[in-house]
Amino acid sequence: MADLFAAPPRPFMGAATGTPFKAADAVLFGAPHGTPYQSIDNEPYAATPDVLRDALEDDARWLDHWDFDLDGPLLGEGDFRLADAGNLLTSPEDGAGNRALIKEATSQIVDAAAIPLMIGGDDSTPIPFIEALAPAGPLTIVQIDTHIDWRDERRGEPLGFSSTMRRASELAHVERIIQVGMRGLGSARREEVEIARDWGAQIFTARDLHRGGIETVMTHVPAGASCLITLDCDALDPGIMPAVMAPTPGGLTYTQSIDLIGAVIAKTNLVAFDLIEFVPGRDHDGTAAITAARLVANVIGCLARK
């Protein structure tokens, strides 16, 4: 374990550090870099995990205070055990090495019967993350994103951030993909949309959610399913989440996002979560980092109540 991670300068929300995975209910870790495209590296995400840890530094001092998102203290009244393993020792241009680190770390957490919580990185980081969830399958993926990510390859690279759900669809342990928040121009042409729908992916636009509420999605989420939530920050409206590479108007609100997260966790067996695509250099006043970090905190709070 130790040779995979650099210790966090500050743990997320006061989480334990140096804790054996088997002693934790959930283990958070950072994966700053995934698989780069030629001439597009992953350097803009290098600081993401630590920036989100820093965003809630003050909140971590008040864990016994009432959290009105969750109707009680963040970690509930029980003995939920959260660990922060630190950041994987990834590199901006080493796609193969980064994938191996993410898959190994996730496998170790899953093998210890804990829930992995990954802070990426770009949207290629979930590819090895999902691969490592095979023991938890059959898997339902709830992807909250602007883009469907069904490209077979881009710039000759099949494992980059435009291909995440395409690669997931090829895994034997993935049985259902539900995609929420799509809008505007995305990473798909007509052929990718048709391939996704032919596979069986259920695609809900942001407009669907605005019109029909989260029940538009939740009626299609099977009760008791083993579920991964993968949340790309660009799913949120750029008015509250400007710190992304592809800001697109019409996105989800913070309340819609946490309501959807809470409903999925209440209805399913959440086996993993990742939050990706937060770009610190585009967060000019720090409020986007607080929003993104609070999304992670809501996942933790919902898990603590299970």
**In whole angstroms, what is the distance from residue 288 CA to residue 52 CA?**
9
| CA dist., res. 141 & res. 192, Å (int) | 18
Enclosing domain of residue 55 = 2-304
CA separation for the pair 55, 8 (Å, rounded): 14
Question: Alpha carbon of 96 to those of 34, 101, 112, 151, 160: distances in Å?
Answer: 9, 9, 25, 19, 11
Say what the pLDDT of residue 38 is.
Answer: 86
CATH at 104: 3.40.800.10
Number of domains into which the chain is organized: 1
Of 233, 220, 296, 234, residue with least CA distance to 264: 220
- CB contact burial 111-126 (16+ within 10 A = b; e otherwise): ebebbbbbbbbbbbbb
Share of the chain above pLDDT 90, in %: 94
Name the pairing type of β-strands 26-31 and 269-276: unpaired
| pLDDT, tens digit (0-9, with 9 covering 90-100), for 124-138 | 999 999 999 999 999
Order the strands of the 115-120 sheet from edge to edge: 5-6, 82-88, 26-31, 115-120, 269-276, 226-232, 139-144, 174-182, 202-205
- Which residues does the chain have with pLDDT short of 50? none
pLDDT score at 2: 53
DSSP characters over the chain: -GGGEEPPSS-GGG-BSS--GGG-SEEEEEE----PBTTB-SGGGTTHHHHHHHHTTTGGGGTTS-BTTTTB-TTTTS---EEEEEEE---TT-HHHHHHHHHHHHHHHHHTT-EEEEEESSTTTHHHHHHTTGGG-SEEEEEESS-----S-BTTBTTSTT-HHHHHHTSTTEEEEEEEEE-SS-S--HHHHHHHHHHT-EEEEHHHHHHH-THHHHTTSPTT-EEEEEEEGGGB-TTT---SSS--SS-B-HHHHHHHHHHHHHHSEEEEEEEE---GGG-SSSHHHHHHHHHHHHHHHHHHT-
Q: Which residues pair with 37 in a beta bridge?
A: 40
